[in-house]
Chains A and B, each alone.
Chain A
Amino acid sequence: MIPTAYTEKEKNMVFQSEMLPHLDSMYNFAFRLTLDEDDAKDLVQDTYLKAFRFINSFEKGTNAKAWLFRILKNSFINDFRKKSKEPSKVDYQEVETFYNSEEFDNEIEATSDLRSESVQDLIGDEVANAINSLEVDFRIAIILCDIEGFTYEEMAKILDIPIGTVRSRLHRARGLLKEKLSSYAKKMGYLQKS
């Protein structure tokens, strides 16, 4: 990528008009990752400072939101996740071989009784808990695609992974989310125990 040489004035203008309008989405993304309001605030601040410092690597006319999300995600992985004791997340081998595994059959079994009517009865807290309980890489995949509406190509850039991996990660994440939703639905008595 050819860096753009912005003048100081242009730098500020690009930052104001292209970066700051995404503050709401950025904060929500940060909160879904850190699950803590103070950490989310710090993470968003960090991200914006980095964005300003490296604004020359932002190509005008490209997707600023995707660019910012990528910086935020990297800051989270490199700075925040190190601090926490969470073990390393997605095992890529596991993701790639997932389709042939027994786990896949179990997943179908676990969610085959989940119906759209029982999903519609779930409340916000249950949905939030289901998402938050996913491992962070799966959580990110769902947020980027289903909540923020990024394309596979944008997700590939944000996550630095090939599109095929975006697909398989999404597939796995959605299966896990369905399992969680299904267990909530069961707990709340929306589903008959089979």
Chain B
Amino acid sequence: MTSDKNFHEKNEMKQSSDPCNCCCLDSLYTILDGEASEENTEELMAHIEKCLPCYQQYDLEVAIRELLQTRLAKKCPPQDLLDCIREKIASITITQ
């Protein structure tokens, strides 16, 4: 956290459980999805460091993303799937 003073001021102003009105979830998503311009990203990230509700929102979104990427078990395709596909393609190619 770069500016503690600012952070605490905001903290006193706003209960941490209040939904944040200072920046919308949409711009947060745009940044986390890598779809925002560099300028917008810097601007919002600077704000997030100073605003507790925004920071918590950001932190939660990051945690959910990590959860989806790490906890969701990847399935192995059945062993014969690739062979099945190759065989069918081969039979199409021959009959053509």
- Determine the distance from Cα of A178 to Cα of B19 in the docked complex, in whole angstroms: 14
Once the chains bind, are A122 and B71 in contact (CB under 8 Å)?
A: yes
Residues on A close to B: CB < 8 A?
8, 12, 15, 20, 23-24, 27-28, 31, 37, 40-41, 44-45, 48-49, 52-53, 108, 112-116, 119-120, 122-124, 127-128, 131, 142, 145-147, 151-152, 167, 170-171, 174, 177-178, 181
Q: Say which residue of A20, A53, A131, A167 sits within 8 Å of B82 (CB atoms).
A: A20
Chain A residues with CB under 8 A of B61: 174
Q: Which residue of B lies closest to A109 (CB)?
A: B19
By the criterion CB–CB under 8 Å, are B60 and A119 in contact?
yes
**Interface residues in B, total, Cβ within 8 A:** 38
Q: A24-B74, A49-B92, A152-B33 are in contact. Are A113 and B17 (CB under 8 A)?
A: yes
B68 and A142 contact, CB distance less than 8 A: yes
- What 0/1 readout, one digit per residue, does chain B (56-84) give for beta carbons within 8 Å of chain A? 10011111111111011111111001101
**Cα of A102 to Cα of B25 in the assembled complex, Å:** 17
The answer to whether A123 and B71 touch across the interface, beta carbons within 8 angstroms, is yes
Is A115 in contact with B69, judged by CB distance below 8 angstroms?
Answer: no
Determine the distance from Cα of A155 to Cα of B89 in the docked complex, in whole angstroms.
28
User: B37 near A: Cβ within 8 Å?
Assistant: no
* B82 contact set on A, CB distance < 8 A: 20, 23
For residue B85, which residues in chain A have a CB less than 8 angstroms away from its CB? Answer: 20, 23, 44-45, 48-49
CA distance A52 to B18 in the complex (A): 53
Q: How far is the CA of A193 from the CA of B34 in the complex (A)?
A: 35
User: Which residue on B lies nearest to A124, using beta carbons?
Assistant: B71
B88 interface residue per 8 A CB criterion? yes
Give the distance to chain B from A115, nearest Cβ to Cβ, in Å. Answer: 6
Considering the chains assembled together, what is the distance between the CA atoms of A146 and B69 in angstroms? 7
* A53-B92, A152-B35 as given contacts; A177 in contact with B64, CB under 8 Å: yes
22 contacts between A and B (CB under 8 A): A12-B89, A15-B89, A24-B77, A28-B75, A45-B85, A49-B89, A52-B89, A108-B19, A114-B60, A115-B60, A116-B59, A116-B60, A123-B71, A127-B72, A146-B64, A146-B69, A151-B35, A167-B29, A170-B29, A171-B26, A174-B29, A174-B64
Contacts of A120 in B (CB 8 A): 63, 66-67
Q: Bound complex: CA of A145 vs CA of B78, how far in Å?
A: 25
A126, chain B: closest CB distance, angstroms: 8
B3 within 8 A of A: no
Contact of B33 among A112, A128, A145 (CB under 8 A): A145
Whether B84 contacts A45 by the Cβ 8 Å rule is yes
Let me know if B2 is at the binding interface, CB within 8 A: no
Q: Determine if A27 and B64 form an interchain contact, defined as CB atoms under 8 angstroms apart.
A: no
Let me know if A45 and B88 touch, CB within 8 A.
Answer: yes
